[in-house]
Structure 1
Amino acid sequence: MADDLGSYLAVGPRVGLRAFTLGDGEEFTARARESRALHEPWLFPPRTTEAYAAYARQLIDDPARAGFLVCEREGGGIAGFVNINNIVRGAFLSGALGYGAFAHAAGRGLLSEGLGLVLTYAFGPLGLHRLEANIQPGNTASRALVRRAGFRLEGFSPAMLFIDGAWRDHERWATTAERWPGPARDAQRL
């Protein structure tokens, strides 16, 4: 099935990025429910349409956030998501990443491709200089994802975030516009 390139902010060989919409609630929450074993104890995306609506509304309305759905170009299904939270302008030009692949797409490199497109978009049209990802030390898949994208380990924050009923330690990984090589070789900005 051919995809509609006009609906994407950026495209790669296998995925396209598009903004969250309120209409994505049913598909997103179904994928989140299917992916519970993959995500927990690291990640808790919304699993009901009501929770999704509140989540998406923040990403749509809050200028300190930018949310991207990573969609398979073949068929357009949602493979995962990458959000930039806590965007600070001025001299900082920074944001914090949150992301997740859905179980049907895990291990296929789709989120890696999508993250590359987000980095190109963040350091291009969004005008950011720095992105960081705070990752629990035991989350090896997440650590591998950012390492492949060129992030470097900058530090350790004990008891940083309250997740799943407890304060969790996190590693801080980051990259800057200077470290990012620019548009991915096979990506095209729309």
Structure 2
Amino acid sequence: MSANDSPYLAEGPRVGIRHLAYEDAGEFTARVRESRDLHRPWLFPPDTAEVYDRYARARIEHADVESFLVCEREAGGAIAGFITINNIVRAAFLNGTLGYGAFAHAVGRGLMSEGLGLVLAYAFGPLGLHRLEANIQPLNEASLALVRRAGFRLEGYSPAMLFIDGAWRDHERWAITSDMRTGGHPTRYDFRKEPGR
């Protein structure tokens, strides 16, 4: 298969990223069911075909969303996880908000780190974005570790930011800009080191 025939938008040594499709419903929902203990209480991705259809439509048919699957190249394209850039704003902002999740069989193998690197390159390249933000619940250690490894900086703390699992949850705000990926060295902002906190 030539590079032009690749099913992937971008490829690394072990994974490729491609857009989410309606046809992924069977594998995606099976992986979600296998990963329920991993995802709760942080994520509630679709675990039935009916819910997946609504989920996919919201990500495929809207211009302000780009939704990717992280696929294992050596495993025939098996889905290892998903990464979505939501709320894409153009004009002077050029910003998007990340959402993501790994599936249980991929945990601890570095596949999501590699996939996130590919998504960042795609976002700051072909998509033309300047900044990506990830809002993460403070006790979600795996999610925090992923963005730290990718070079995100901590920018702040938002109490009661998102309604998840029946309650308003606090989130840390992490972000990365295109210049941080190309050698820029912006100052790290850490709200926990402010005087009086």
Q: Does 1:150 align with 2:151?
A: yes
For the pair shown, which has the larger CA radius of gyration, 1 or 2? 2
Shift of 1:57: 1.2
Q: In the aligned structure 2, how far is the partner of 1:118 from the partner of 1:33?
A: 25
SS of equivalent residue, structure 2 residue 77: coil
Q: Which residue of 1 aligns with 2:57?
A: 57
Hey, what's the Cα distance between the residues in 1 that align with 2:64 and 2:132? 13
The equivalent of 2:186 in structure 1 is: none
Task: Find the counterpart in structure 2 of residue 88 from structure 1.
Answer: 89
Q: In the alignment, which residue of structure 1 is the partner of 2:172? A: 171
Change (3 A) 1:106 1:5: farther
Distance 1:5 1:180 in 2: 28
Segments of structure 2 that go 5 or more residues without pairing to the other structure are 184-197
Aligned-residue sequence identity (percent) comes to: 72
Instruction: Look up the SS of the partner of 1:111 in the other structure.
Output: helix
More contact order relative to length (CA 8 Å, sep ≥ 6): 1
| AA of the residue aligned to 2:109 | R
Distance in 2, Cα, partners of 1:36 & 1:178: 36
The TM-score with structure 2 as length reference comes to 0.89
Q: Does 1:26 align with 2:26?
A: yes
| Paired residue total | 180
Q: Which runs of 5+ in 1 are unaligned?
A: 183-190
Q: Structure 1: how far apart are the matches of 2:176 and 2:166?
A: 30
Counterpart AA for 1:45: P
* Counterpart in the other structure of 2:131: 130
Runs of 4+ with >2 A deviation: none
> For the structure 1 residues 7 and 41, does the alpha-carbon distance in structure 2 shift closer, same or farther, using more than 3 Å as the test?
same
Q: Distance in 2 between matches of 1:97 and 1:16?
A: 18
Q: Distance in 1 between matches of 2:166 and 2:4?
A: 42
